[in-house]
């Protein structure tokens, strides 16, 4: 074996280290989760614990494989303030923290009108600190002395690259991801970066995700046993890493990638940065692809919704934790669709998805019960006690949310939809979505067969770096099986159900 690639893949829940060969075949992988470190009542990332674990895993893999390159990919909405000593100088707070409405209004009062910022930076107003500029604003308010010590402010992938190489940098997929930090029209850091006082602390210019950030420091090489000439690439945002294999294989084809997990991220590659009339103020934004092209994007917490509601269903119906719920039949789905009186509605984290202001709840026969009350045992509506019916309503809800997100991402009749990630295994959801997309489309709904797409896409960047090429040149090394999803037959009038589902939320007379 000539060389191998190590990928550090940092999700909100699981952290992974995987090894690939230069033909992009996975050789081994290991993962674990980390509990948050509590700082003044705040959940913060265990940067020290994670770093030690990553280095130990690299050392173990380095004894078995000739690792010549390392790529890092991470979840979004996280930045790290680094002091002159090269260490984090302020807590790395979870982006799920919601500081409250007064905080949100202070942010926009200081930084500018939300719609005007969206038009310039491609970033929508999101809840909690999912806009990473809000995380920095929070640190400035809550930990002003620590924030003031920032020598450089790094995107999360580049923070880990810095810890490996001692070199700082920034690349476009993370900087351009709902951060408010990038001015698309002028190709520079935004007025928000300037008002936060960090514009000169953010590395510039932006580089490509397959550019080499540097080689291992003497300390890291000694700790891991890896060669000091081991390269580390710039790093890449996780959703954009998942998109990269499809860009390599589907050049010129119109598609939306439905990347599913805790977040469902629907990404539609575009040629130009431009919002359509009426889109400003809605949860639609522009990512920046690895090729520095705009990617129209819509998101919602689909995986979190699924886990929260299935947990409530198990509890109310007496199913033990971890036991698979019974799969609904077409008749179960048809009963929910025809009746149009039972609905599961978003959002588990208000303001995180396509329906800001909504609170997760179950509506049945005109009665509304919040998910919080159901989970606490305050109430147990009839639907939640019937596992098949409840799961049918949940899958219908997830498909309805996906359809709205697809439309906001620019779905057209010829657009193919590729679903990958956790929802690939949810046959009910996929066949409902195929039915909702409608017959007679020249596009269609497909499942992909890429395992661990995020790590795979990140591996492409390191293989490209070692080969002195670009990821799009690697398309011949792998195949993607795009399996067509057939619509669920006998489902009933899904359009009527969708209108009723939207009306239950009071959304524009049943039109999203």
Long-range CB contacts (within 8 A, 24+) of 84-91: 84/149, 84/151, 86/162, 86/166, 88/47, 88/159, 89/146, 89/147, 89/149, 89/150, 89/151, 90/139, 90/143, 90/146, 90/147, 90/149, 90/150, 91/39, 91/42, 91/44, 91/139, 91/143, 91/146
Does pLDDT of 145 surpass 60? yes
pLDDT in tens, 74-89: 999 999 999 999 999 9
The pTM for the full model equals: 0.93
Find out whether 335 and 262 touch, Cβ atoms under 8 Å.
no
**pLDDT of the residue at 366:** 84
pLDDT in tens, 363-390: 998 899 999 999 988 888 999 999 999 9
Nearest alpha carbon to residue 480 among 416, 409, 426, 435: 416
Lowest mean pLDDT among 189-193, 399-403, 421-425: 421-425
Does pLDDT of 454 surpass 60? yes
Does pLDDT of 510 surpass 80? no
Q: How confident is the model at residue 439 (pLDDT cuts 50, 70, 90)?
A: low
pLDDT in tens, 297-308: 999 999 999 999
**pLDDT of the residue at 323:** 78
Helices (H), 112-171: 114-121, 132-142, 144-148, 156-165
Q: How confident is the model at residue 441 (pLDDT cuts 50, 70, 90)?
A: low
pLDDT in tens, 86-101: 999 999 999 999 999 9
**pLDDT of the residue at 250:** 83
pLDDT-above-90 percentage for the chain = 88
Residue 265, judged by CB atoms within 10 A of its CB (0-12, 13-18, 19+), counts as buried
Nearest alpha carbon to residue 463 among 452, 480, 478, 450: 478
Tokens representing residue 461 in the block: 């960047």
The CATH 3.30.420.40 portion of the chain extends over: 4-236, 240-301+404-484
Nearest alpha carbon to residue 302 among 382, 214, 397: 397
Is 3.30.420.40 the CATH classification of the domain at 4-236?
Answer: yes
pLDDT in tens, 307-334: 999 999 998 888 887 778 999 999 999 9
Helix, strand, coil % in the chain, rounded to nearest 5? 40, 20, 40
**pLDDT of the residue at 440:** 58
Does pLDDT of 255 surpass 80? yes
Find out whether 84 and 20 touch, Cβ atoms under 8 Å.
no
**pLDDT of the residue at 357:** 85
User: For domain 240-301+404-484, which architecture applies?
Assistant: 2-Layer Sandwich (3.30)
**Whole-number mean pLDDT of the chain?**
95
pLDDT in tens, 159-187: 999 999 999 999 999 999 999 999 999 99
**pLDDT of the residue at 1:** 72
**pLDDT of the residue at 497:** 97
Taking the C-alpha atoms of residue 411 and residue 405, their distance in angstroms, rounded to an integer, is: 9
**pLDDT of the residue at 92:** 98
pLDDT in tens, 2-26: 899 999 999 998 999 999 999 999 9
Taking the CB of residue 109, how many other CB atoms lie within 10 A of it?
9
CA dihedral 280, 242, 355, 322 (to 10 degrees): -170
């Amino acid at each position: 074996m000539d060389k191998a690639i190590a990928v550090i893949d940092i999700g909100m829940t699981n952290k992974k280290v995987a090894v690939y060969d230069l033909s992009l075949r996975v050789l081994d992988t290991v993962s674990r989760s980390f509990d948050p470190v509590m700082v003044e009542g705040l959940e913060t990332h265990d940067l020290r614990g994670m770093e030690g674990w990553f280095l130990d895993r690299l050392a173990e893999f380095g004894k078995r494989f000739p690792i010549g390159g390392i790529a890092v990919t991470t979840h979004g909405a996280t930045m790290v303030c680094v002091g002159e000593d090269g260490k984090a100088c302020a807590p790395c707070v979870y982006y799920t923290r919601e500081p409250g409405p007064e905080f949100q209004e202070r942010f926009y009062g200081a930084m500018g009108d939300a719609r005007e910022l969206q038009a310039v930076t491609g970033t929508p107003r999101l809840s909690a600190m999912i806009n990473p500029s809000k995380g920095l604003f929070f640190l400035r308010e809550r930990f002003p002395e620590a924030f003031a010590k920032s020598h450089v402010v790094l995107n999360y992938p580049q923070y880990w690259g810095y810890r490996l190489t001692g070199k700082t940098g920034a690349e476009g997929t993370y900087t351009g991801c709902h951060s408010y930090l990038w001015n698309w029209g002028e190709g520079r850091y935004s007025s928000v970066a300037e008002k936060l006082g960090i514009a000169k602390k953010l590395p510039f210019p932006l580089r490509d995700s397959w550019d080499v950030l540097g080689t291992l420091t003497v300390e890291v090489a000694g700790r891991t046993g890896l060669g000091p000439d081991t390269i580390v690439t710039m790093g890449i945002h996780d959703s954009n890493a998942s998109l990269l294999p499809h860009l390599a294989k589907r050049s010129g084809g119109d598609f939306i990638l439905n990347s599913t997990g805790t977040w469902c991220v629907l990404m539609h590659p575009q040629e130009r940065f431009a919002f359509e009339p009426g889109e400003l103020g809605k949860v639609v934004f522009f990512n920046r692809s690895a090729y520095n092209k705009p990617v129209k994007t819509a998101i919602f917490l689909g995986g979190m919704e699924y886990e929260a509601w299935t947990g409530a269903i198990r509890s109310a119906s007496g199913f033990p934790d971890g036991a698979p719920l019974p799969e609904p039949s077409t008749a179960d789905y048809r009963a929910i669709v025809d009746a149009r009186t039972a609905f599961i509605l978003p959002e588990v984290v208000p303001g995180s998805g396509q329906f800001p202001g909504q609170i997760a709840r179950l509506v049945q026969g005109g009665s509304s019960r919040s998910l919080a009350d159901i989970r606490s045992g305050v109430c147990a509506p009839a639907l939640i006690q019937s596992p098949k019916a409840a799961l049918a309503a949940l899958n219908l809800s997830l498909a309805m949310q996906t359809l709205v997100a697809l439309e906001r991402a620019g779905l057209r009749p010829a657009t193919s939809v590729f679903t990958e990630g956790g929802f690939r295994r949810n046959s009910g959801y996929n066949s409902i979505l195929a039915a909702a997309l409608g017959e007679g489309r020249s596009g269609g709904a497909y499942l992909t067969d890429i395992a661990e797409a995020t790590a795979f896409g990140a591996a492409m960047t390191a293989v490209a770096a070692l080969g002195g090429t670009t990821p799009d040149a690697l398309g011949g090394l792998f195949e993607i099986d795009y399996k067509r999803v057939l619509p669920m037959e006998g489902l009933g009038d899904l359009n009527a159900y969708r209108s009723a589902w939207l009306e239950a939320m009071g959304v524009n007379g049943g039109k999203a």
